[in-house]
Structure 1
Amino acid sequence: MSVRRRDVELKSKIDSTFFAEWKASWTLRHRRREMIAGYLFLLPALLLFCIFTFLPMIESFFISFTDMSLNSASTHWVGLQNYALILHSADFWESFLNTAVFAIQVLPLNIIISLFLALLVHKKFKGVGFFRTIFYTPVITSMVAVSVAWLWLFNPSYGLLNSILADLHLPQQSWLVQPHWSLEVLVLLRVWKGVGSNMIIFLAGLNSVPTEMLEAAETDGAGRFRRFWSITWPMLGPTTLYVIVLGTISLLQAFTEVYVMTQGGPLETSSTVVYLLFQKTFQAFQLGFGSAIAFVLFVVILALSMINLVFVQKRLNRAY
């Protein structure tokens, strides 16, 4: 009887071992098929990215070391000459300063206003969906269409804003013609158009804040501002980091509103780095110099993004 029992136990162990090995093998094959299927789904997008983005970037990088121009049939290798010209180019540094001032003004305003709107529409009340839609509508509107509308709004001759000032017997302004106003109009435009997108991102962050912590703080007597400053705002740290990084990248590439509304004027006071790149590449046909500007901007954006990720992440780690 004991021998038969040992045989049964041995057979059971063999069966369980075989089943475990078969299950592990099946799981491995299943995961491998899922991985292959995932790569096959990604393949069209990867091919498009390589053909239309990555390969042109590589080619543009090599062009930046040449004097390629559509005005000349010959192209010569010039090494770092284009990058040296950038360092000594007054136009580049003026455009870079304009871009920096533009981004420094827009980013904080965008974050503050979008967070405020997110806090307003986060609460459940009648018509909240309507207000969310209204605030988000500028995001889905074409930048060209928005720029044309704002160009009419701030037109010094027949613009709506000057008409209102005239009705109020206030002095009218040449908004897009005066050097100290042109860039500020672009700042207002970008803030108005961008707050809706960041509002949605902050709404997602607010939904992830544990309600138990807020309720416990309210029970302990913490007011609204105290709950926001001590709980909500620290919990929104990763969301704010995401908004800062994406906002920085977007603002440093500002072009459409400049091209439609000011063409970099007056006196290049609203010219940005990307608009200068456009002028050098597609108007002056200096492909080598324009490619060098593009890669300098790429390095600046990459450096600022890494700085944001490293330093802000350290603060988040200390906060948590």
Structure 2
Amino acid sequence: MTSLTISVVILGAAIAVSFIYGLFTRNYSTVDRLWSVLPAVYMLIWMPGFLGNPRYIIAFILVLLWCIRLSVNFAVKGGYSFSFTKGFTGEDYRWEVLRGKITNRFLFELFNFFFISGFQLVLIFMFTLPMYYYGSIKGAVVPAEWILYALHLLLLSCELYSDVLQLRFYRRRKAEPWMSQRRYRLGFNTFGIWKYSRHPNYVCEMGQWVVIYFLLVAVSGGLHFSGIGALVLVALFAGSTIFAESITASKYKDYKAWRKLSSSWLPLKPVSSRKRREFLS
């Protein structure tokens, strides 16, 4: 059995575990707990065939750093909260919202199987897959790869920074003396890079996996079918952005006005600093 076949078997097992756990416990965040683990697991499985290839080792370190950041961030949000009587109790808030929209249990479990478990876990495998082909390419690391390694680290650093700003905001908005300030009373983050992009974490997250794919492009000399993973990931985040913003807008009355003054992803909207200051003051 090849390492690629083994990883496909693990993918199938992960889908089964995610679906069954959600079916019996109604906690649908198994996929969220696996999201930050499986890319490193897949690359470890493939590694014996590529141990002599420095580019694969460097890429693995980058992916491992990505996994650590995401795992820590999910843990801070309570995603790994566990009870011996109830099992995992931490869950992404979006699944609770969707349960309220899809009230028929049978339909929701179909959604659980095909989207929450099936689609998303296959997607994780697909956006990691370029690394399998990347490791098979011999030769010295070229300058384009070093540039992409640096870009990946830059995106990771920006995502860490956005995590810190978000965590600080959530802690302060319900604590004195900050809770009396308008920027905290708004209910949504407008500090630092969040001032210019409503989803800087999404941008950095997508960007890192696009970079991973382009590492393969840089040394293979052309596009590769495995790039479908990064492409679908961007599409998923586009849908997730729309869904998350609809939830936020329903909770905070000023969010619709803020959307007119800021960009969703990249800070491209030509809004003056004066208008932003007037809104936030």
TM-score using structure 2 length? 0.30
Q: Which has the higher contact order (CA 8 A, sep 6+)?
A: 1
TM-score using structure 1 length? 0.27
Rg comparison, structure with higher value:
1
